[in-house]
Structure 1
Amino acid sequence: MKYFRWFLKLLIIGILSGAVIIFAGYFYYSKNLPDVTRLKDVRLQTPMQVLSSEGELIATFGEYRRLPLKYEDIPPVVINAIIATEDSRFYEHFGIDPIGILRAMYIGLKNHKFSQGGSTITQQVAKNFFLTPERSVGRKIREIILAIRMEKELSKEEIIALYLNMINFGSRAYGIGSAAYTFYGKQAKDLTLSEAALLAGLPNAPSAYNPISYPEKALSRRNWVLHRMLNQQFITQEQYDEAISEPLNVGYYVPKIAFSAPYVAEMARQFMYDKFGDSAYTDGYKVYTTISKNNQIAANNAMHEQIINYDMRHGYRGPEKTLWQPAEKAWNNTEIAAALTNYSCYQEICPAVVTESNTEQAKAILNDGKTVTINFDGVKWARPFISDNQQGALPTTVSSVIKTGQLIWVKQQNDIWMLSQIPVINGAIVSIDPENGAIKALIGGFDYNISKFNRATQAIRQIGSTIKPFIYSAALDKGLTLATVINDAPIMRSNAGSEVWRPKNSPAIYAGPLRLRIGLSMSKNVMMVRTLRAIGVDYAAKYLERFGFPHDNISRNESLALGSASFTPLQVARAYSVIANGGYLITPYLINKIEYSEGDLIYQHQPEIACKDCLIESSYKNENAETANLDNVEKVAQSNEQEEPEQEKLRAEDNMLLPRADIPFRQLINPDGTVNVDKTTISKQDEPTYAPHVISNEVAFLIKDALKSTVWGDRDNQWRGTASRSRSLGRHDIGGKTGTTNLSKDVWFAGFAPHLMTTVWLGFDDHRRELGRARQNIYNDKAPTTGEAGGNLANPIWNNYMQQILKDVPEESEIKPASIISVLIDKKTGLLAPQPNSHSIPEYFIEGTEPTKYATKEVGTKVTDEQGVTSELF
């Protein structure tokens, strides 16, 4: 009894001591533990998605592939497979499994290290969300404490959903939603028993059981999971027998990009990173852009086709590299494959190594190991490139172009393998809605993987004749009209001690006095210079700023008339939108709305719109109307010192960023940096915000109508505009302007169509290179060479793009302002026509600026004026 009493005392002391130790340990390890209730609103690391305006996927950004699912969206077969595999007593325990813990402790003491955790699903959730992966007693105790707390605060359904959305299944797939798509290309709800069992076996060792890398191990693991499910009575023997007999049937599926828009995706990524930092890649944002799938695909096709055509016209520049000479020992397939690993395909143009070549055909190995045959039809275009302005003769055999041992570029076209090359020329397209600034399509270069430089927003290039509509707008606001006659004659200016300046037309053809409309449509340079002199360089330069052109980029000398100023394609598109929308300076934007991962709207863009339907009396009164009918346009310069009409002040947006830098994200971010997804915080506007009115509706209407003449020219076909190629569209509601800089280093076309304004630019990144000359018909040695210009290089891209976009869009009539009147004028003089005849034509005028004098009529050698007085010409 004595020993029994001592034993009892020791037992009580041990129990009490153990309790004290447990409580002390609890209080010690529970200090500073996180609040598990945060898991109710946990933010799983989910990639950012960039989407089109229709919701089509453009790009994803983020290390983790995850498609979070709600508990009710996870099929029972997946839940049962995970429970059978990871935690068979999940629904019975209170967060920890004592048997599992004792087993892990025994193995740890036996092996002198803790290699097994004995963790429940709840413990694994606690560890992954709150703790480090270290294996120690202290971390294990914290894990247990957190697991018990979680069981008190969260339901079993919430815990299992967290687990299945969190765990790593391998191949960058996190969560069951992403794993189902990555390995089977389907949604989790469509998984079969066999598929669910395979996925349930992966989290234990994602790399070791990867079904793509190690299919045999994955199959064995899947069968073990099915066996566990049978033992736990989750499935019947019949289901087990059927599932275990199925093959793996796995693949590797990545999120399917609906269409290519890499420069758009990068703009969206940079914008999101600037606003949210690294969390932009993990918080599951859905960024809806303004890009239209149809517009972007059409732009891609148009730009790609023309760049390839240009590159072929200017000749073959030779192989990428020569691996061995024909007389040397040929490389084997292993050596060839190693060499090709350093090259990738660009826009369906792929690297290949020539292994055989003769007069009629050549054989080449692609980077995927496939051997292709190139016949003469695939090389007959390949004139040798001599310079940008000169190409050699057409080839006569295959072996004269490509030889054994050369690393070349090829592409498949109409089932024929053709010799190709990576273009050096680049281009940009910006297509926007002129009424609100939404960017519908954007291309920043031939291939984003070759060059990430975004030429649409970053390339500052000389604008050439594309500037003329803006200077003529200034002239109309100064008092000229579309009927004002300006002399199309050579100009020479020579100042003492300075070089003689002789601006020339291109081509150098001069027609004498012409109306302003004709001068704009035919892009007469000397007429533009005379107009600039008439209104004053300073006046014109300041006027250009109304269109959003940056002050520092505007040259302030007479070369401004010929387009010496430099702007980005985006700035040009924005400026032309002012003409297209009736005089309003809209702000282009790319981000339409942003949603949080669960679909909560956290930002909706509110664009400034062109108020075309507003009944606003124009504040741009023409104070120089009395000069509009002067016989000598130079007299207009007398009014240069007059103050220009009061204008609405514009925002300082010289260095425009997209989207606008002043987007009110401060309403979306809490003081602690977290995102506020309460929909009530979204900035809403009951009334629309209108863009600044920068030129009058009347001036915008006149210039827009004149730009239609660049397409259709004179109704009697007595002259053609520089954009006459656009007649192929068969529409009279389109217009635009070509632009070609000195030596054809930059070519442009900017044009409008219903609800769309599109700018196209092409050139070399090397400013020293000119676009040169080439035969437009590359297969005809007798065809003349033609200089590359805006009309034959940029305009066809615009036409191709618009042909696809306007296919089902009805033609629209222009609504003219009430103060615009139509007057019959004489074609030659621009004065009033006495009567309709072949020498007269209707012309638009701002009311009060129309001519007041009649044109004289010639009879033999006599001329009769409007009062009937006749005099001899000689």
Structure 2
Amino acid sequence: MANPQAGGTGARRTPLQAFLYWGTVIGVWGLIFLVAFLAVFAIDLPDVSKLNDVTRQPSISYLDRSGALIAVRGSQYAPPVDLEKLPEYVPEAFLAIEDRRFYWHPGFDPIGIARAGVANVKAGKVVAGGSTITQQLARNLFLTLDQNWRRKVQELILAVWLEIKFSKKEILALYLNRVYFGAGAYGIEAASQRYFNKPASKLTLGEASLLAGMMKGPSRYSPVSAKERAARRATIVLDEMVRTKAITPEEREAAVKTPVRVSAVLANQRAQYFTDWMDGQVRALVGEPTEDLYVETTLDLPIQAAAEQAVRAGVARNKAAGVQQAALVALDAEGRVRAYVGGVDYSESQFDRASVAKRQAGSAFKPFVYLTAMEQGRNPGVVVVDEPLKIGNWEPRNYDGRFAGAMTLETALAKSTNTVAARLANEVGTGNVASTARRLGISSKIQLDPSMALGAVEVSPLEMAQAYAPFSNGGFRARAWGISRIRTASGKVLYDHNIEKRGRQSVIGSPALPYMNQMMRTVVTGGTGTAARVPGFDIAGKTGTTSDYRDAWFVGYTGGFVVAVWTGKDDNTPMRRVTGGGAPAQIWKGFMGQALPRLKAGPIPGGRIAPPEPENQGPIDDILSGIGIGGEEPPEPQPRAPTPAPEPARPPEEVPF
């Protein structure tokens, strides 16, 4: 038999030679495949030449009427912090919880990826991630948040590039200065100022652990909105720091025992409900900003502070009676919003009860009934009879279940007598009453059933304030507004309210206006609103209470200044016998006691008109029947409370570990 290796075909390869040969072939082809693979994913890699450029959402700075800063909306960046100036435990906190092997891996951590993969398989869902700090930096700097394989591979490529381009110390500094901490704060300096009102160089161990813990989810682990969850996460960070020997067990125990004081909002983030109300309007007027904007508003910060204090104090004082929330809106004669409070605590609930919530007005709606009657020829001295009444199937009842007999319209409004208001609305026409309310500023739907006379109409405090404004300013329509001017950081004016300002529209004439002011003064001097009296000032207004005490109102005014106050519960369940003459009137007085001296308000314009001699209105036919909605409790003697002193700045809240 012939030798198979004869004929110049060469000797058979040894196993070692075969291994080397095929290893080389596979290696070459693997390298070709890897290069091709990376080339495909690198085609649309972002431009990394502008690494140090900061691209951010333009900010909107809101200023009060005197130019003081109210709030800033949009991304907040602080100057980069020098890693050397931070306490050693600050970067160590992030390394312990986010990337323990940061100083040893090449940009990605195979051990961490494997561990995360095993955990995810066991759980049957994604419960852990294997991203290193370098990968997170690459993602934050260059990539979108899309979850797909292309983005993940690009993240790995960029992470390796960052490791080649920069030192570990530079990567860590970039990370700490660019990572997002929620609430619009980018970078550890902005976060430290946002949550603790201090520079990052003065962060305590507990504060550093809270910030590091937020990396798992800035919203979910926010020390403002999720205090307990944030505290538990911070404790885990401290445990990891002990495990990596970044701190001692004794230092951990000391940090756990020291409560961290967290600011609910920045020192310059005030009037948040008002800013929310403004935010949508700014974008409607000028579109999405392409550069930093300054919005000059009508708000008066000292008056706003008094309003917030009065609301908090009033709700706290009446908490036992079931008062959980309140709202307050104050307008001047032109409709400028001077104070705006949408709830007791913005950090606990961002729902705006000043303009978004709609609640039944109760007897605070009755002035529109009486105004319609005055415009049809009646006057405060007209005598009516408080007696049982049926209008179809509806039978209104008074608050105390009794009937007082003959009285004037002035007395009926002051005592908030339901039968008289219902009869009056039926006589003048509920459609005419609705037209009057719309003319003055009520924009919500007004149903025309007889019960509307007693306030079965859902409105917002903002609407009520602007609808009462004509009583305070001489009879002119005063649509509520809050933006005076919008300008760019470079000074270009994008919007100016004065340019669009129109002539004043008269909506209440004489003698109806002085008649109404006379009657609503009596509400405060001897009716259901006596708790709202502010000595030395010309005050008028109307209380409102709805069925089962679900809502309580006081809307009052002086010369050129009107304030609407609502109290109740968000779930619309009843309070415990809280009437408009109680908590709302107390809040109103607490606010006005501080605001009026600053405003230098004058008397209510329009003068006084002596009405004709009292005349009997005569019997009124019974037409319709049901249950009363807006009756008021007879006024009780109110202790005269001193004007409260200005409340000191609210201390930051504590996050216990």
TM-score, structure 1 normalization: 0.46
Answer whether contact 1:429 1:760 (CA < 8 A) is retained. yes
Map of 1:253-292 to 2, 5 A cutoff? 253=260, 255-257=262-264, 292=304
Aligned pair in 2 of structure 1 residues 181, 522: CA closer, same or farther (>3 Å)? Answer: closer
SS in 2 for 1:433: strand
1:647-687 deviation line (CA, Å, top 9, x unaligned):
xxxxxxxxxxxxxxxxx9xxx9xxxxxxx988748434553
Correspondence for 2:246 among 210, 221, 224: 221
Correspondence for 1:796 among 583, 586, 593: 586
The answer as to 2:619 corresponding to 1:724 is no
What displacement does 1:734 show? 1.9
Answer whether contact 2:310 2:587 (CA < 8 A) is retained. no
CA distance in 2, matches of 1:209, 1:814: 60
Aligned pair in 2 of structure 1 residues 526, 500: CA closer, same or farther (>3 Å)? Answer: closer
SS in 2 for 1:471: helix
CA distance in 1, matches of 2:350, 2:177: 34
SS in 2 for 1:791: coil
**What residue identity is the alignment partner of 1:803?**
G
Correspondence for 2:446 among 553, 559, 575: 553
What displacement does 1:124 show? 7.7
Equivalent position of 1:440 in the other structure: 339
**What residue identity is the alignment partner of 1:795?**
A
Map of 1:337-416 to 2, 5 A cutoff? none
1:723-748 deviation line (CA, Å, top 9, x unaligned):
23334x21332221123456666543
User: What percentage of residue pairs aligned between the two structures are identical?
Assistant: 23
CA distance in 2, matches of 1:127, 1:47: 23
1:528-564 deviation line (CA, Å, top 9, x unaligned):
456445544332222221133346323244x444434
CA distance in 2, matches of 1:692, 1:471: 24
Answer whether contact 2:515 2:609 (CA < 8 A) is retained. no
Correspondence for 2:382 among 475, 482, 486: 486
CA distance in 2, matches of 1:52, 1:190: 31
CA distance in 1, matches of 2:215, 2:424: 78
CA distance in 2, matches of 1:203, 1:767: 35
What displacement does 1:140 show? 5.1
What displacement does 1:204 show? 13
**What residue identity is the alignment partner of 1:298?**
A
Aligned pair in 2 of structure 1 residues 466, 529: CA closer, same or farther (>3 Å)? Answer: same
Equivalent position of 1:707 in the other structure: 520
Equivalent position of 1:77 in the other structure: 85
1:429-460 deviation line (CA, Å, top 9, x unaligned):
322224335272435579996x9876555665
Equivalent position of 1:620 in the other structure: none
Aligned pair in 2 of structure 1 residues 160, 123: CA closer, same or farther (>3 Å)? Answer: same
The answer as to 2:603 corresponding to 1:814 is yes
Higher helix share goes to which structure? 2
CA distance in 2, matches of 1:200, 1:569: 39
Answer whether contact 1:529 1:562 (CA < 8 A) is retained. yes
Correspondence for 1:737 among 542, 556, 560: 542
Answer whether contact 1:428 1:445 (CA < 8 A) is retained. yes
1:592-625 deviation line (CA, Å, top 9, x unaligned):
6xxxxxxxxxxxx348xxxxxxxxxxxxxxxxxx
What displacement does 1:751 show? 1.1
Correspondence for 1:509 among 381, 400, 404: 404
1:371-408 deviation line (CA, Å, top 9, x unaligned):
xxxxxxxxxxxxxxxxxxxxxxxxxxxxxxxxxxxxxx
What displacement does 1:263 show? 13
Equivalent position of 1:657 in the other structure: none
1:259-298 deviation line (CA, Å, top 9, x unaligned):
99x998579669969999xxx9xx9999999572331121
CA distance in 2, matches of 1:204, 1:505: 57
What displacement does 1:814 show? 2.8
What displacement does 1:302 show? 0.9
1:565-611 deviation line (CA, Å, top 9, x unaligned):
4434443233223323344444446xx6xxxxxxxxxxxx348xxxx
SS in 1 for 2:537: coil
SS in 1 for 2:465: helix
CA distance in 1, matches of 2:355, 2:366: 22
Equivalent position of 1:544 in the other structure: 437
CA distance in 2, matches of 1:296, 1:800: 10
CA distance in 1, matches of 2:214, 2:397: 74
1:483-519 deviation line (CA, Å, top 9, x unaligned):
xx31222456668xx558576686622345x3x5444
Correspondence for 2:466 among 549, 556, 574: 574
SS in 2 for 1:212: helix
SS in 1 for 2:77: coil
Equivalent position of 1:470 in the other structure: 368
Aligned pair in 2 of structure 1 residues 436, 83: CA closer, same or farther (>3 Å)? Answer: same
CA distance in 1, matches of 2:239, 2:331: 49
Map of 1:748-759 to 2, 5 A cutoff? 748-753=553-558, 756-759=561-564
Answer whether contact 2:328 2:566 (CA < 8 A) is retained. no
Equivalent position of 1:610 in the other structure: none
Equivalent position of 1:376 in the other structure: none
CA distance in 1, matches of 2:213, 2:441: 57
Answer whether contact 2:209 2:234 (CA < 8 A) is retained. no
CA distance in 1, matches of 2:589, 2:212: 56
Structure ranking higher on relative contact order (CA contacts 8 Å, 6+ apart): 2
Correspondence for 1:429 among 321, 327, 332: 327
Aligned pair in 2 of structure 1 residues 577, 40: CA closer, same or farther (>3 Å)? Answer: farther
Equivalent position of 1:521 in the other structure: 414
CA distance in 1, matches of 2:548, 2:87: 70
Answer whether contact 1:78 1:196 (CA < 8 A) is retained. no
Aligned CA RMSD, in angstroms, stands at 6.6
SS in 1 for 2:598: coil
CA distance in 2, matches of 1:200, 1:765: 33
Q: What 5-or-longer segments of structure 1 have no aligned partner? A: 1-16, 87-99, 114-118, 224-244, 312-422, 593-604, 608-663, 669-675, 713-719, 773-787, 831-874
Number of residue equivalences: 529
1:792-850 deviation line (CA, Å, top 9, x unaligned):
454334334433544x4365323746xx6x666676579xxxxxxxxxxxxxxxxxxxx
Correspondence for 1:42 among 54, 69, 74: 54
Aligned pair in 2 of structure 1 residues 478, 188: CA closer, same or farther (>3 Å)? Answer: same
Aligned pair in 2 of structure 1 residues 556, 23: CA closer, same or farther (>3 Å)? Answer: closer
Map of 1:613-762 to 2, 5 A cutoff? 680=492, 682-685=494-497, 687=499, 689-690=501-502, 693=505, 695-696=507-508, 698=510, 699-700=512-513, 702-712=515-525, 720-727=526-533, 729-741=534-546, 746-753=551-558, 756-762=561-567
**What residue identity is the alignment partner of 2:440?**
F
CA distance in 2, matches of 1:85, 1:737: 58
Aligned pair in 2 of structure 1 residues 112, 212: CA closer, same or farther (>3 Å)? Answer: closer
Answer whether contact 1:439 1:588 (CA < 8 A) is retained. no
Map of 1:606-617 to 2, 5 A cutoff? 606=484
Answer whether contact 1:711 1:726 (CA < 8 A) is retained. yes
SS in 2 for 1:790: coil
What displacement does 1:32 show? 1.1
Q: What 5-or-longer segments of structure 2 have no aligned partner? A: 1-28, 95-102, 116-130, 218-232, 617-657
CA distance in 2, matches of 1:739, 1:108: 68
Equivalent position of 1:293 in the other structure: 305
1:302-361 deviation line (CA, Å, top 9, x unaligned):
1221232xx3xxxxxxxxxxxxxxxxxxxxxxxxxxxxxxxxxxxxxxxxxxxxxxxxxx
**What residue identity is the alignment partner of 2:77?**
P
TM-score, structure 2 normalization: 0.58
